[in-house]
């Protein structure tokens, strides 16, 4: 019990500045992120799948606009760099990496929530100990 009391006194330090609107700020930032991703979808679709016109400057004669990137990597960079880029842009690597990042964010968020709940419980125990000591 004394160890828990010490942990609450040392580790549970309140913020110097009070954040009153942090919940609405997080919602606003999440909405901005979703809108950013949604706004980039048409441009990504155009670059990846729609063939360019014949008179389209650097993209003329290509099947897709994205082919210019592969051509540049093959001609202007060393061969090992284009091989590394092709492996890194492989969906078999990108999708598990994104899934791993989502799982890590979920894990960190859940541990943060559990630490917050543990701090609340330790505060309650500390208040009970102080009230018992005060009445003795």
Express each pLDDT in 51-95 by its tens digit: 887 777 777 888 887 788 888 888 888 989 888 888 888 888 888
Question: Are 83 and 101 found together in one domain?
Answer: no
| Residue 103, pLDDT score | 92
Q: What is the extent of the structural domain holding 81?
A: 37-50+61-89
Question: Are 95 and 85 found together in one domain?
Answer: no
Question: Are 100 and 118 found together in one domain?
Answer: yes
Helix (H) or strand (E) holding 84: helix 79-88
Q: Calculate the dihedral angle through the C-alpha atoms of 123, 129, 131, 133, rounding to the nearest 10 degrees.
A: -150
Whether 26 is covered by a domain: the verdict is no
Whether 28 is covered by a domain: the verdict is no
Contacting residues for 85 by C-beta, under 8 A, at least 6 apart: 73
pTM metric for this prediction: 0.49
Instruction: Quickly state the pLDDT bin for 100 (edges 50, 70, 90).
Output: very high
- Phi first, then psi, for residue 110 (nearest 5°) are -70, -35
Question: Are 126 and 115 found together in one domain?
Answer: yes
Helix (H) or strand (E) holding 134: helix 91-135
Whether 2 is covered by a domain: the verdict is no
Whether 109 is covered by a domain: the verdict is yes
Number of domains in the chain: 2
């Amino acid at each position: 019990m004394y160890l828990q009391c010490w942990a609450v006194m040392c580790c549970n330090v309140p913020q110097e500045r009070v954040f009153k609107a942090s919940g609405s700020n997080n919602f606003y930032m999440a909405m901005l992120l979703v809108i950013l991703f949604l706004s980039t979808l048409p441009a990504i679709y155009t670059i990846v799948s729609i063939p360019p016109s014949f008179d389209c400057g650097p993209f003329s004669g290509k099947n897709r606009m994205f082919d210019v990137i592969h051509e540049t990597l093959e001609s202007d960079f060393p061969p090992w760099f284009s091989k590394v880029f092709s492996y890194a842009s492989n969906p078999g690597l990108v999708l598990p990496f994104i899934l791993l990042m989502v799982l890590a964010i979920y894990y960190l968020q859940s541990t943060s929530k559990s630490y917050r709940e543990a701090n609340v419980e330790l505060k309650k125990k500390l208040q009970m100990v102080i009230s018992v000591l005060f009445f003795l």
